[in-house]
Amino acid sequence: MEVVRATRRLLALLLVGGLLISLDVVGVARTGALGMAIVISILALRVYTSLAQTALATCRVRGSYKGFVEGGDVDVEYEVCNDSIIPIAFVEFSLSYPQYLRMSKGSRGGLIAIPPRGCIEYRVSFKGRVGLHRIGPLRAVLRDPLGLYRGVELNLGHVMEVRVRPRVSERLVRALLQASRASGISRSRRPGEGVEFYSVRDYRQGDELRRVFWKALARGKLAVKEFESETSAYILFILALDETTLYGPYLETPLEHASRILATIADYASRRGDNIALLIMGPGVLEGTRFRRGRRGYVEVLNLLTSIDYEKHILRTGPEAKAMIGDGAKIVKYIKSMCPRERINVIILTPASEKTINVIKNLTPLRNMGFSLNTFILIPQLYGLTKLSPLEVAVYRLKVYNDIKRAYDKARELRSNGIKTVIVTPWETPSRIMATLNSI
C-alpha cells in the first residue's frame, strides 16, 4: 500500500505542465521552462510528501489527561514530536472521542505544521461526565502545501481511558446522617451506644453523668438511661441501564442523576457503617462489587460507577445482550452469589423502559428469600424538561404524557409482582430515596 496518493488536482496541474512543454516543443510559445518548472515542482512535492509522511508516521506521540470529577474540566493533552530533520506541513488532524462527550474548550480538529526536531502540543477540555470514556487517538492526514498529494490517514498516539467519578452531595449526606440520628435507624435490640431509648437501670461506677435519669433521681433513686446499640445494614444497590438513561441535557441525564444519588447514598451508608455493594445491569452485562463495610464499600461502589462504559454497559446491542436481559434466573443467581447472607435490602434505580422493568420483574424470587426490594423508577422523558421556557415545558409535557403514562403502567406491573415501587421525578428523587432508606 502506498503511503501517499495523488489528489484530483494533480492531474489538472500535470496536464497544464505538459501542455506548456508541448507548446514550446512545437514552437508555438516559449513556455517550456514554465512547464518544466511545474513538472519538477510536482516531483519535488511528491518526494517531500513521502518524506514528511514517513516522518509523521514515526513521530513520538504522548497523550495525557487530568480531571476526574463529573461536571469539572477533563483536560486532554497530546504532544507530537518530530525527531526527524524533515518539516511536516501540513497535517489535518481530528481528535477521536465518543459522541456523547461534550468538548468545552479547544477545537475538535485543525491544521498543524510540525517543525523538524520540534514538538507541538494540542490541548482540549471536556465537561466530565460520569463513566469511562475512550479519548484518542489523533487521526491525521498529511498534505503537501499545494494539496496535490495526500498521505494515508494515520492514527497518532494511543486511546486514553478517561474515568470520571460522580459528584457526591455533601449537603445531602449530612441531611441523611442527621435524619438517621433523629430516627434511630438500624436498631439492634441490644443496649449500647445509640440514640434510641432502650431501658433504665441502676447506676454503676463509671457511668457517664449525662446518662443519669433525673426523674428517678428526683424520686431518690440513682439510675441511668440505656440506649439501643445501632448495627449495620446490608444494602445492595442495583442500577439498571439502557439507552434511555442517556436521555436529557448533558450532565442532567438519568444516568448522571442516578450515579450522583448512588454515590451520595453510598457515602452516607459507608459513614453509617453499613455493608454495601453495587450491581450494574446493562444490556447483556452484569457487573457488581463485593459487599464491603464502611469506606471500602464506598470506594468500590464509586469505582464501579466510574468504570461505566457507555459502549459496553449502555449502548450494547445484539442477540447476546437481548438473551441475557430475558434470563431472570441467571440474574437472581448472580445476585445470590454476590450476597453473603439472605435478608438483604435492595434499592433499585431503573429507567421506566420496558427492557429494564422486565428484568426487574424477574427479581421477584428474591422476595421469597427475604430480600427487601425497593424500586425507584426514573422517567427519562422528564429529564428533557430542563433548559426549556415555561410554555415549552408545558408543550413538552403534553407530548410525552402518554409515554409517562406507560411508565405508570410499568410501576403498577412491578407492584403487582410484590416489588415496592416508587416513581420519581428528577427534582425529588433524593428525598424519596432518603425516606425509603430511613425506613430500612
Partner 1 sequence: MRESRGKEVLVPGLLLLALAVIGLVALLEMGPLQILTAPGAYPGNNGPLGTSILYQKLRENYTVIPVTSWSHIRQTLNPCNLSVVTIIVSPETSYTDEDLESINHLKGSCKKFGLLIADEGVESNRVLESIGSKVRISGAILQPHILVANLSTPWGWSGRVLLDKASRVNVLQPSGDVIPIGFVEILATPVAVAYYENVNGVEVVVVGDGSIFLNQVLDSNIGEYPLSFIRSTVAHLCGELGNCIVLMEASKYIGLDPIEVLRSGDKRVLGLLNMVDLVLSLIARLVHPSTWLPPLLNMVNHSIRSLVELNPYFKGLIVVVGAVIVMLVVPRERRVKDAMLEDVAEIDWYGFGEFRRHLVSHGAKLTKQDFITLYDMVNTILRSTTGSTLEDPQLPSVLETIGVSRGEAETFRGFMVKYYRRATGKTLWPPLVMWGRITRKAIMMCEKILEPLGASITRPSKLELIAERGLRSSGGS
What part of residues 366-385 is at the interface with partner 1 (CB under 8 A)? 379-385
Question: What single string gives the DSSP state of each residue in 16-36?
Answer: HHHHHHHHHHTTS-S-HHHHH
Chain centroid to Cα 300, Å, comes to: 15
Q: Which of 253, 259, 264, 289 touches partner 1 (CB under 8 A)?
A: 253
H-only helix segments in 283-420: 295-306, 319-326, 328-338, 354-361, 365-368, 390-416
Residue 293's alpha-carbon distances to 51, 271, 324, in angstroms, are: 60, 9, 30
Decide: 56 and 140 in contact? Cβ < 8 Å. Answer: yes
Q: Please, what is the minimum distance in Å from the beta carbon of residue 264 to partner 1?
A: 20
DSSP states along 383-413? GGGTT--HHHHHHHHHHHHHHHHHHHHHHHH
CB of 191 to partner 1, least distance (A): 41
CB of 190 to partner 1, least distance (A): 39
When asked if residue 343 is in the footprint of partner 1 (CB under 8 A), the reply is: no
Size of the site for partner 1 (CB under 8 A): 95
* 260 strand-pairing partners: none
Is the separation of the CB atoms in 290 and 296 below 8 Å? no
Choose one: 211-219, 220-228, 281-289, 400-408; the region binding partner 1 (CB under 8 A). 400-408
Rounded to the nearest whole angstrom, what is the least distance from the CB of residue 327 to partner 1 in the complex? 27
Interface with partner 1 includes 404 (CB under 8 A)? yes
Cis peptide preceding 254, ω within 30 of 0: no
Q: Is-contact 167 185, C-beta < 8 A?
A: no
Q: Which of residues 47-76 bind partner 1 (CB under 8 A)?
A: 47, 50-51, 54, 57
- Residue pair 270/408 in contact by the 8 Å Cβ criterion: no
Instruction: Give the CA radius of gyration of the chain.
Output: 32
Q: Which of 73, 75, 77, 92 binds partner 1 (CB under 8 A)?
A: 92
Closest CB to partner 1 among 200 and 388?
388
Place of cell 453495587: 278
- Kindly tell me the sign of the dihedral angle through the C-alpha atoms of 297, 276, 306, 169: negative
Of the candidate residues 65, 97, 234, 376, the single one contacting partner 1 (CB under 8 A): 97
Minimum gap (Å) between residue 261 Cβ and partner 1: 17
Enter the DSSP assignment of 367.
H
Instruction: For the CB of residue 150, give the shortest distance to partner 1 in the complex, in Å.
Output: 5
What x/- string results for residues 267 through 286 when contact with partner 1 is judged by CB under 8 A? --------------------
Task: Among 244, 259, 270, 374, indicate the residue that binds partner 1 (CB under 8 A).
Answer: 244
Query: Is the Cβ of residue 94 or residue 232 nearer to partner 1 in the bound state?
Result: 94
In the shown chain, the binding pattern of residues 2 to 41 toward partner 1, with x for contact by CB under 8 A and - for none, equals xxxxxxxxxx--x---x--xx--xxx--------------
Nearest to partner 1 of 75, 207 (CB atom):
75
Binding to partner 1 in span 146-165, by CB under 8 A:
147, 150, 152-156, 158-159
